[in-house]
Amino acid sequence: MNRTELILVGGGGHCRACIEIIEQQGYYRIAGLLDLPDQQGSEVLGYPVIGCDDDIPGLIAGGRRHFLITLGQIKSAGRRQALFESIKAGGGVLPTIVSPLAHVSRHATVAEGTIVMHGALVNAGARIGRNCIVNSRALVEHDAQVGDHCHISTACVLNGGVRVGEGSFVGSNAVTLQEVEIGRHSVVGAGALVRQSLPPNSLFVGQGRDPKQKKG
């Protein structure tokens, strides 16, 4: 099979998890990685670091158009969003990657540049935005909506009808009650139980405690 060449942007721990999924999926051939300049010439799981972020326009101009952002996201989506916009502005393509060990309902939608990782479940009527991470064993229940540039972490549960605003991070094992809205650019800590809606730029870390506003 003649597989499409794919370049990964970011060479850390999240990248390693993405490589595992891309290899198992079998639709793309990893042509190399972009990472920090001092990492050029090194390898990640046997794949070479062939350049840095500044090389994206030249790679696209040379016909290497398919990219996946494999930089992780915890507190801020800023860097992932900037890379996504740079690739799109240059005419690059960001495919959707779904692990063969995940399940995405045929009645759900997952937008470009998003990766759905091992064991994740995206149920009927759910909508996942662009450039998101739906991490291992995460559950996005029926009719939930996740905005662009979000990270839904490992074993997180978004119950039915939940809405997560763009650029937000929902930590490992966090649970949201149904129909809750998490405002854009918010951070929900690991293990948190979100019982009520949160305004934009919230930092919510406890079991029902009042949210704080993020600094900066």
Q: What average pLDDT does the structure give for the chain?
A: 93
Task: Locate the domains of the chain by residue range.
Answer: 4-89, 96-202
pLDDT band for position 3 (50/70/90)? confident
3-class DSSP state of 137: coil
DSSP 94: -
pLDDT for 212 equals 62
Question: Residues 24, 97: contact at Cβ < 8 Å?
Answer: no
pLDDT digits (tens, 9 = 90+) for 31-72: 999 998 888 888 999 999 999 999 999 999 998 899 999 999
CATH 3.40.50.20, applies to 4-89 = yes
Mean pLDDT of the region 164-190: 97
Enzyme catalytic residues: 142
Phi, psi values for residue 6, rounded to 5°: -130, 135
pLDDT for 74 equals 79
3-class DSSP state of 58: helix
**Residue 209 pLDDT greater than 60, yes or no:** no
CA distance 84 to 68: 9
Question: Residues 179, 195: contact at Cβ < 8 Å?
Answer: no
CATH architecture, domain defined by 96-202:
3 Solenoid (2.160)
The model carries a pTM of 0.93
Of the candidates 165, 108, 168, the one whose C-alpha atom is nearest the C-alpha of residue 139 is 108
Same fold for the pair 4-89 and 96-202: no
Question: Residues 87, 132: contact at Cβ < 8 Å?
Answer: no
